Amino acid sequence: MYLIFLDKKRTSNFKSHKYVVFLYKLIHFFMKKFLIFFFIASVLSISCVKLEELEGNNVEYEVTQFELEENITLIIPNSEFSWIPDLINCMTIPSIPLVNEEGIVNFESFVPTQNPNPYAYLTYDIQPKSIVMELTNITDCDFGMLENVEIYVTDSSVTDASQFILQDPNNTSAPHNAVKIGELMNVSDGSNIIELDVNTDAVLDQFIHNQSFNTYANMNLDKAFTEEQAIIKTKLLLSVKLINEN
């Protein structure tokens, strides 16, 4: 009887063990299914959140603003006054019938200009901030020789003012190949340095991004000089904004 009792007990323990194992596997199976379902539901829930509701997309980027500098040299050759007899340095240009009745010499120049900054394409809203001109080499003469001056930036393909398609200040993205960046319509005597009135509506992205462009100067002179050429150093300071991409 004792042996029989032992056999029954072992049999009972064995069945209990199998039941526990079965129950464990069953629970484990449902837990795996639940975790998989929970994971999928979580992913779907996150995917359905609108982009604008994500915290990272609500970060406001500060506009990074800085300056670029362009240096241009304008050369006015003395040959502009070759028709004047007995030329004297800084003399008032004479009015000569059939030759020059107004006593004014108009000078135009297209200066090929290269943007030295290789990262200019990373900027936008490029606008002239200041234009300073310095007459460097005419002894005993100053900017009193100028009556007025206008400065433009053009595409490098433009070779004559008659080809200008001027930028529309009300629609700067409209097709254009030139824009006035500054002028000084009444130049005072007595200084070798002048600062032009800047066109604050001008946007230069198209020209600066192209790396090469023209700087066009149109000026009227009312005094002559005897030097071989007049050298005018022009510093163009540009205000630019850095493209921030998130």
Residues 77-95 have pLDDT tens digits of 999 999 998 999 999 999 9
What is the structure's pLDDT at 23?
Answer: 55
Pick from 5-19, 67-81, 149-163 the range whose average pLDDT is largest. Answer: 149-163
List the CATH number of the domain containing 198: 2.60.120
User: Are 9 and 37 contained in the same domain?
Assistant: yes
User: Are 183 and 129 contained in the same domain?
Assistant: yes
Q: Which carries the bigger pLDDT value, residue 64 or residue 58? A: 64
pLDDT above 60 (res 47): no
13 φ, ψ to 5°? -65, -40
Q: What is the DSSP string of 121-190?
A: GGEEEEEEEEEEEEE-S-TT--GGGEEEEEEEEE-TT--SGGG--B-BTTBTTS--SEEEEEEESSPPSS
User: Are 37 and 124 contained in the same domain?
Assistant: no
User: Are 109 and 139 contained in the same domain?
Assistant: yes
pLDDT above 70 (res 97): yes
**Domain of residue 236, residue span:** 64-242
- For residue 19, name the pLDDT band (cuts at 50, 70, 90): low
The model's pTM: 0.74
User: Are 138 and 183 contained in the same domain?
Assistant: yes
Segment among 24-33, 39-48, 157-166, 213-222 with least mean pLDDT: 39-48
